[in-house]
Chains A and B, each alone.
Chain A
Amino acid sequence: EAGVTQFPSHSVIEKGQTVTLRCDPISGHDNLYWYRRVMGKEIKFLLHFVKESKQDESGMPNNRFLAERTGGTYSTLKVQPAELEDSGVYFCASSQSYGTSGRRKNIQYFGAGTRLSVL
Chain B
Amino acid sequence: AQTVTQSQPEMSVQEAETVTLSCTYDTSESDYYLFWYKQPPSRQMILVIRQEAYKQQNATENRFSVNFQKAAKSFSLKISDSQLGDAAMYFCAYSNAGGTSYGKLTFGQGTILTVHP
Interface residues of A (CB under 8 A from B): 3, 31, 33, 35, 41-45, 48, 50, 55-56, 58-59, 89, 91, 93, 95, 103-113
Q: Which A residues are CB-close (under 8 A) to B50?
A: 105, 107
Partner of A43, one of B47, B95, B107: B107
A56, B45: Cβ atoms under 8 Å?
Answer: no
Interface residues of B (CB under 8 A from A): 33, 37, 42-47, 50, 91, 95, 97-98, 100-110
Interface majority SS (helix, strand, loop, mixed), chain B? loop
Given the interface pairs A56-B101, A95-B103, the reply to whether A110 lies near B45 with Cβ below 8 Å is yes
Q: Which residue of A lies closest to B104 (CB)?
A: A45
B42, A112: Cβ atoms under 8 Å?
Answer: yes
Partner of A110, one of B44, B102, B104: B44
- Complex-state Cα separation, A50 to B97, whole angstroms: 16
A-B contact count (CB 8 A): 63
A89, B103: Cβ atoms under 8 Å?
Answer: no
B44, A111: Cβ atoms under 8 Å?
Answer: yes
Please provide the 4 A-B residue pairs with the shortest distance between their CB atoms, ordered closest to farther.
A48-B103, A110-B45, A43-B107, A112-B44
Q: What are 10 contact pairs spanning A and B, CB under 8 A?
A: A42-B108, A48-B104, A50-B103, A56-B103, A104-B98, A104-B102, A107-B47, A108-B103, A111-B44, A112-B43
A58, B91: Cβ atoms under 8 Å?
Answer: no
Q: Which B residues are CB-close (under 8 A) to A44?
A: 107
B55 to chain A, nearest CB (A): 11
B103, A31: Cβ atoms under 8 Å?
Answer: yes
